[in-house]
A and B are shown apart, each in its own frame.
Chain A
């Protein structure tokens, strides 16, 4: 696999890591001196440089089908362990590079406008550049340990940025929650890495894949490794049971939610599974687990999203739901489907978050959609962009979401009719909560709060233009992969990724039966009809009337997020607190403290007794000395 890559491409891939690090250091070290405006421009321009480099690399790997391998330095090397700090650019990482740097750049530019009046703007941009740096390490790493560093690094940046407004204690708690829940998953990831090293003797991603491909399907070692890696993915990508941190993570600034908690970091779990596709296809148990968890996550968070009232919370649950959808695709073995949805989702979810940020900006930090309404006329550009995002995510043709969802849905239908219907139902949930949000926030008669607020204003160009570009991408990105039903020729995306998943698909060929054309048309048209109906119903229900105040039965359960937070609080947080209290009050005070004090007191007492031997009488000392010497000699003699 390792071939001579061109030195030019190698240095480019190295610069990819260097630029954001430089940006972080430059802005981070001169926070106090640097001009507020300048820091945003510096940060954005470094990411822009990265974007240019990414285009070059993308062009290179997609035309030559070569992998750019760059060994920066030997990192861990002793005995038979050799873990170099090396970066690999292949087609999969080039795709992620495009997403990270492309969406990252647009969000950086947007942030210049959004964070303009914040006092910590330099700190913000230094963290953002640090995030890009770690995300690139994650994406570019050639071995799992380096990937883990990037993995932890983005977790750190996520923590720093969720708690960015650290003066509010709730934000700090949300940051801690995110970090700790991620740690639970990371433990699994670490165990997976250890097990991998134990089994294969290497952590290099391609070597592991090569060695694993000769192993029998379903072996215990592979099961443990994949379960461990998937545990990491569960934490990072906010799947059941570790998903409750993501909605809380909305405490951070909105661009952060767009970049880290929608477009890039949370998709790292999907990337990890796709990256280790060979390992996962050889472990059917894990694949089924991924499928089940993906379905349940998508279902539950989709249902929760319908009854939320905070604009960012709705989007957060929507993100969890879409991630669940991606994991479902992974579980069905459609790695390119998951990656395709990851890419399009990055575009339209970032767009939705940025548009939501624009709304929040316009309404002076108001996030409750019940206090919005009628914004369609007040901020028309934001409305148009938000609507594009909503249409794209709902899977309405011809926007991007339709194509990526269709790719996953067709795999689901090939897997079985029941699976297809479940998947369709999940994707229909998207329509319900997105259009509810859209109609309540933008169509409903103006709320009193909006009427009273005379400062509602459209966002500046620096915020609108990145959103417009994302909207453009959300509209056209889908056309690179058109369902086989319409045309069998346009499948640029899966062709592009096919070398990556080649060995995985060869090991376990797709088992699904092909559907006849009629069924395919039906599975395409019936959901679209339902979507149209749902949009109409939401319009009638939410755009005209006020929200019904009383929630009944199951609705209340959904509005309260299935009481999962309360459940965790009861099952884990409270017992931990009790245990801590027990250790502090009982174990520490009564056992450890008493033990230490007893030792001290005993020493004092014995010392007090022994010092009486020091009579000060020289004769006595001499006698002791002489008899001691005699005793020593005597013992030497009889020994």
Chain B
């Protein structure tokens, strides 16, 4: 364990930050450009996990384990969210035979 942390700390923090930013941006762009609801979900997960990664990195650099605890919390919440989200998608698909969000514009005045 000790060695893992030491090895992690050998990589400069700024690399993690740049990497996570890239991941997050990909997620945001994915959410915006994709029309498939499933792909949007995946992009959301990408954003969540970029944040997770950043938390874990800072945790390692500061020798403070609480950041990692948050990661676990976020994972649990994300899992719950996905479970509900996928269930909703299944229902939507059954009712309209599609999961294209541009077709689903019934949330209208």
Q: Tell me the bound Cα distance from A626 to B31 in angstroms.
A: 10
Of residues B35, B40, B109, which shows the largest number of chain A Cβ atoms within 10 Å of its Cβ? B109
Residues of chain B from 89 to 108 with CB closer than 8 A to chain A in the complex: 101-102, 104-108
Q: Are A612 and B109 closer than 8 Å at their CB atoms?
A: yes
- B32 in contact (CB, < 8 A): yes
Q: Are B101 and A616 closer than 8 Å at their CB atoms?
A: no
- B26 in contact (CB, < 8 A): no
Q: Are A617 and B105 closer than 8 Å at their CB atoms?
A: yes
- A220 in contact (CB, < 8 A): no
Q: Which residues of B contact A611 (CB under 8 A)?
A: 109
- B28 in contact (CB, < 8 A): yes
B interface bracket (residues with beta carbon within 8 Å of A) = 10 to 19
Least CB distance, B89 to chain A, in whole angstroms: 13
Q: Are B105 and A615 closer than 8 Å at their CB atoms?
A: yes
What is the 8 Å Cβ interface bit string for chain A, positions 603-626, against chain B (1 contact, 0 not)? 000000001101111110011001
Query: Given A619-B35, A619-B101, A619-B102, are A614 and B109 also a contact pair (CB < 8 Å)?
Result: yes
What is the 8 Å Cβ interface bit string for chain A, positions 573-614, against chain B (1 contact, 0 not)? 000000000000000000000000000000000000001101
For chain B, what secondary structure do more than half of its interface residues adopt (helix, strand, loop), or is it mixed? Answer: loop
Q: Which residues of A contact B102 (CB under 8 A)?
A: 617-619
Of residues B35, B101, B106, which shows the largest number of chain A Cβ atoms within 10 Å of its Cβ? B101
Residues of chain B from 1 to 58 with CB closer than 8 A to chain A in the complex: 28, 31-32, 35, 40
Q: Are A614 and B108 closer than 8 Å at their CB atoms?
A: yes
Question: A618 touches which one: B28, B104, B109 (CB < 8 A)?
Answer: B104
Q: Which residues of A contact B35 (CB under 8 A)?
A: 619
Q: Are B31 and A618 closer than 8 Å at their CB atoms?
A: no
Least CB distance, B44 to chain A, in whole angstroms: 10
Question: B32 touches which one: A615, A616, A622 (CB < 8 A)?
Answer: A622
Q: Which residues of A contact B104 (CB under 8 A)?
A: 618
Q: Which residues of B contact A623 (CB under 8 A)?
A: 32
Question: A626 touches which one: B32, B40, B106, B109 (CB < 8 A)?
Answer: B32
For chain A, what secondary structure do more than half of its interface residues adopt (helix, strand, loop), or is it mixed? Answer: helix
Q: Tell me the bound Cα distance from A617 to B103 in angstroms.
A: 8
Q: Tell me the bound Cα distance from A622 to B30 in angstroms.
A: 11
Q: Tell me the bound Cα distance from A622 to B107 in angstroms.
A: 13
Question: A615 touches which one: B28, B31, B40, B108 (CB < 8 A)?
Answer: B108
Least CB distance, B95 to chain A, in whole angstroms: 16
Q: Are B32 and A618 closer than 8 Å at their CB atoms?
A: no
Q: Tell me the bound Cα distance from A615 to B101 in angstroms.
A: 13
Q: Which residues of B contact A618 (CB under 8 A)?
A: 101-102, 104-105, 107
Q: Which residues of A contact B107 (CB under 8 A)?
A: 614, 616, 618
Q: Are A626 and B101 closer than 8 Å at their CB atoms?
A: no
Q: Tell me the bound Cα distance from A611 to B109 in angstroms.
A: 7
Q: Which residue of A lies closest to B106 (CB)?
A: A616
Q: Which residues of B contact A615 (CB under 8 A)?
A: 105, 108
Q: Which residues of A contact B40 (CB under 8 A)?
A: 622
Q: Tell me the bound Cα distance from A228 to B31 in angstroms.
A: 79
Q: Are A616 and B105 closer than 8 Å at their CB atoms?
A: yes
Q: Which residue of B lies closest to A612 (CB)?
A: B109
Q: Tell me the bound Cα distance from A622 to B102 in angstroms.
A: 12
Q: Which residues of A contact B32 (CB under 8 A)?
A: 619, 622-623, 626
Least CB distance, A357 to chain B, in whole angstroms: 77
Q: Which residue of B lies closest to A614 (CB)?
A: B109
Least CB distance, A347 to chain B, in whole angstroms: 85
Q: Are B28 and A626 closer than 8 Å at their CB atoms?
A: yes
Least CB distance, A285 to chain B, in whole angstroms: 75
Q: Tell me the bound Cα distance from A618 to B102 in angstroms.
A: 7
Q: Tell me the bound Cα distance from A615 to B104 in angstroms.
A: 11
Q: Tell me the bound Cα distance from A611 to B40 in angstroms.
A: 26
Least CB distance, A623 to chain B, in whole angstroms: 6
Q: Are B109 and A622 closer than 8 Å at their CB atoms?
A: no
Q: Which residues of B contact A614 (CB under 8 A)?
A: 107-109
Q: Which residue of B lies closest to A629 (CB)?
A: B28
Least CB distance, B17 to chain A, in whole angstroms: 16
Least CB distance, A542 to chain B, in whole angstroms: 90
A-B residue pairs in contact (CB < 8 Å), sample of 7: A611-B109, A614-B109, A616-B107, A617-B101, A618-B101, A618-B104, A626-B32
Q: Give me the interface of B with A, judged by CB distance under 8 Å.
A: 28, 31-32, 35, 40, 101-102, 104-109
Closest 9 CB pairs of A and B: A616-B108, A616-B105, A618-B101, A616-B107, A614-B109, A617-B105, A611-B109, A622-B31, A619-B101
